[in-house]
Amino acid sequence: MSPLTVFGIAGTAREGSYNRKLLAVAMRKVAERGHAPNLWDVREKRIPMFEHDLEEERGAFPEIVKALRADIKAADAVVLASPEYNAGVTPTLKSIIDWASRTDPETKEPQVWAGKVVLVIGASPGLFGASRVQIALRQTLAHVAAIQLPESLTLSKAHESFDDNGELTAEWAAKGLDKALDAMLAMAQLRKA
């Protein structure tokens, strides 16, 4: 298997975020498998809320959005890790998806999701584990023609699920994440072949 580039980004910038922890675990697992993780920390790289006027008035995307799109485009697969807010998509994640779904007003480059292998995982302190937002996300990702895996990991009781080193403590969760990542990598490898 040739090494794959895997872009990872979380749908929350909260300090101490369980989803950012889960994403970090996922990206470490990607590296352990000999692939190249490209982890974006949304606390450092603040992505503006999507506003139509921002692209229309300026005639160009903000620089951070250009960088986001370039890294998604360059990746063989994308991992999105996000909580659900009121059983729906967080504004952070929706903006990430929406910015990357537009045609670049300067270069006319089309949206960058089409044909991209995308894995969605999520964590929540509650019992639902961000599982209810999966349907909404799958609808949106289908609309932008991303290639989705049936696998996922929805981590419930996230506040009890990490040790002091940020590793997953529950065996079922670690195994579920392994399975989802392996499916994603296999699909991405097929796409690259």
Contact positions vs ligand FMN (CB under 6 A):
12, 14, 17-19, 83-87, 123-126, 128, 130
CB of 122 to ligand FMN, least distance (A): 8
Nearer to ligand FMN, 128 or 172 (CB): 128
Nearer to ligand FMN, 89 or 188 (CB): 89
Nearer to ligand FMN, 2 or 86 (CB): 86
CB of 177 to ligand FMN, least distance (A): 15
The separation between the first and the last C-alpha atoms of the chain, rounded to the nearest angstrom, is: 10
Whether 40 and 3 have beta carbons less than 8 Å apart is answered as no
* Separation CA 44–CA 46 (nearest Å): 6
CB of 69 to ligand FMN, least distance (A): 24
Nearer to ligand FMN, 41 or 85 (CB): 85
CB of 82 to ligand FMN, least distance (A): 7
Nearer to ligand FMN, 86 or 165 (CB): 86
Looking at residue 78, the DSSP 8-state letter turns out to be E
Q: Classify residue 74 by burial, with Cβ atoms within 10 Å: 0-12, 13-18, 19+.
A: exposed
At a CB cut-off of 8 Å and minimum separation 6, what does 57 contact? none
CB of 65 to ligand FMN, least distance (A): 22
Q: Classify residue 174 by burial, with Cβ atoms within 10 Å: 0-12, 13-18, 19+.
A: middle
E-strand stretches of 102-192: 117-123, 147-148, 153-155
